[in-house]
Structures are given as structure tokens and as C-alpha cells.
Structure 1
Amino acid sequence: MSEAGPEALTVAIAEDNTLLRGGLQVLLERNGFVVVAAVGAPDDLVDAVHATAPDLVVTDVRMPPEFQSEGLTAAVRLREEDPTLPVVVLSQYVEQSYVAELLDSSGGAGIGYLLKDRVSDVKDFAATLRRVHAGGTAVDPAVINQLIARRRDPLERLTSREREVLAVMAEGHSNAAIARLLFVSEAAVVKHIGNIMMKLDLPPNDDQNRRVAAVLAYLRGQSA
């Protein structure tokens, strides 16, 4: 039974595995969301979004017919049509080129890329969906760790603590949450973020979400 209230977010789901799709629908409805569409193909997702105008889209990366990046392609298409549409992509593996493509779409705001294993933490998953809906960016920690391991420029300019702060920031957390997670003061977090912005050549700009830009600064070019 759904526990959704009058202000519940509406969600369109795309997952080709019937069992997983049904499980995801039940999980979301039990945590206050309203699932307005649950489909198994990328074209059906596009049609469902056009028909239902959901608040949020959750889609698998690999879908029929080729099981390559059809779900991602549909998500990017929907973002091109409506840059304000929040999208969370789920993947079985860390596929870095997909991360960059998704986050590059419409500036990266209101975007999430999560590994399916993360869905097992139901409260965290629900909170992440709400952060993305609010315009945040959420990238799975495993993805961040791999990017940090492979990327040497400009991340080589950052200290180990600054990299930790950037990784947690990429998950969409506030300064206060970063401080709690890393067991440091909020003042220290502010200082670290300032250093990150400086080292990644991101000067103050009221017209740009600098936190998103900091994430994109090293996600773009990761395949170079």
C-alpha cells in the first residue's frame, strides 16, 4: 500500500527486468512516492514521460534491444527536451563514459548516477531521489573513487582531505552533512571547498552552481 501524501513526488520508472521493476515500484511507493509509470523499454519511457509529466525519472542504463546505453540515451533525450526534468540513472557497474555523458546534459543539475547495489539502503536511496528532485547532483561513491584513482589532472592538485570532501560533495550533501560524514567542523569543510574551487580554477560566479561545476570539472575528460 502506498504511503504517499498530497505532496508526494511522482516518478516514472524504466527497468527491463520485470521483477526488479516491480520491486522498485513497491520500494518507492512505500517511501512516499507515487509511481505514475513503470515500463520496460526506453521508447516506452519517453512516451510515459510525455503522457504523465512526472516529477522525477528513474531508469536503468542498459535496456532492450541491444542492452548498451538505451536507457541513458532516453534520459539524455528527455533532458534535452526539458532541462529541468530530474533524472536518476541506475547501473549494475561503474561505466564512467555514461557518467560524463549524463552529467554533461543540461549542466548536471538534477542528475543522479547510482549503482543498483545502493538501492538496498532504502532510506538513503529515497533521500537521494529527493535531493536530485531539488536540483542536486548525486554520483555514487564507487564512481567517484574510480574517477579519483584514474584522474591525475586537475585532481593531483588536491590534498587527500580535499578529495574526500569533493567525493562527498558529489553525492549531493550539504556542508553540514559533509562535516558529519567526515568528522570535521563545518568551518573546515567551507575552507576545503574554497581550496577545491581555487585549485579547479572555478572563480566565484553567481550565475553558475559552483558545486556542480566542481564535480563536472573532473568528470568531463575522465576518459582522456
Structure 2
Amino acid sequence: MTAPDGPRHIAIIMDGNGRWATQRGRPRLFGHHAGARRVREVVRACPDLGVKYVTIFAFSTENWKRTQVEVAGLMSLFRRYIAKEARALYDENVRVRFIGDRVRLDKKLLNLMDELESLTEDRDGVNLTIALNYGGRDEVARATKRLAEDVKNGRLSVDAIDEETLPKYLDTYVLPDPDLVIRTSGEARISNFLLWQSAYAEYEFIDTLWPDFSADELARLVKSYGKRDRRFGAVKT
């Protein structure tokens, strides 16, 4: 199986905001604000690159371990970003979805998320998925609980469970699996991001800090992906 010209679905671990700010003698939240602005540039670049789906890792289930000041600042940033960008995303034909565990998020943020999903549900351009309070292991655990409830209540037979069944219970059940996962900032870890979905994804670990990531660099990575031979375990004949 040979790679297409480019990836249909790109997932991004947006790392390096804090370091970017520290290098400039600014607080970490300054970097997060700069990183949020970078999202718009990347999403705008996708249609010309043939990218239909973009999933970004905004806040992980582990990020609650950060200082109370940083966490509060990030939650405020998310609220401001959604409120500020909602109309632009709609006008640019972007459909927005959120994945992750919503239980721990505050009511105002949840309302804004629901409103943005509803506002853009008929958009048919780029599909932007924002992973907020998301962790791959947490997602699989929550999916397994839902699956077990269906078995318990007679809606699903144990014999019917296979590797095609569990994905229907994941947060990403309406999305194709990512073709390319990009992590910025020089770290070579997947950090609990889309563990099930990325089983056959290609990875790019780059040194660029997220606030410095550009549409040109995205285009370079998309072009590089197109040169890869993706066999999914098969032998090329």
C-alpha cells in the first residue's frame, strides 16, 4: 500500500509554548497565547495542502499537575479563544469538535464548547478537533466502560467485540485515523495522544517550538509525508 500525495488527517502535539516564552523573558502564559494564534495560520493552510482533518492537543489529563496559576490561565485562554474565534471559524468553513473528558471543565467553558460545535456543525471545509482535558489511556478506559455497559444491558454481544468495535466508542468515532502526527519542540514522545488511532500513523518530531511553527513548515512536512511508503504491515510487491 503506497502513501497518497499527502495526509488527509494531521494530528499535532503543540509543544514548546512555555520554553518559547521563557527564552524571551516572559511568563509561560505569554507563550500559550502566542501558540493559540498559530493555530489559525495552520488551519488556514490546510485546504491548499489537501488536509481535511486537523486534531490539536490543547490540554492533557496530565496538565492539571501544572501550577494553579498556569492552569487557570489556560482555562481563561480557552474561553477567550473560543469566544473570539467562533465567527471566523464559521466564516472560514471550519467545523469544530472537542474530544476529551468534560467532567472536570467549568460550566462557562463547556457552554462555549457546545455553542461552537453547534455553530459549525454544518461547515464542510476543514474539520478542526480540539483535544481538551484529553488523554489516550483515559479515552480508552472511558470507551471500555461504555462498551461494557452495552454488553451488560444486552445491546452488544461479547462475541461481536473485535478491533473494529472499540473505535466506535472512542471520542474520535466520527473521524478517520490520523495519517501524520507532528510534535514540535524537539521532544520525541507521543505523550498519551491518540494512542489507539495512531497505530499506523507516520510521525514527525521537529525542533521548532510551537509558536514558531509556520504554514511553510507544515507544507514541508506534508510534502515529506507524500514520499513515504506506507505498507501497513504488508510487503511491497
TM-score range, shorter chain: 0.3 to 0.5
State which structure, 1 or 2, has the greater radius of gyration over its C-alpha atoms: 2
TM-score w.r.t. the length of structure 2 is 0.32
Normalised by the length of structure 1, the TM-score is 0.34
Q: Return the structure number with greater helix share.
A: 1
* Larger RCO of the pair (alpha carbons < 8 Å, separation 6+): 2
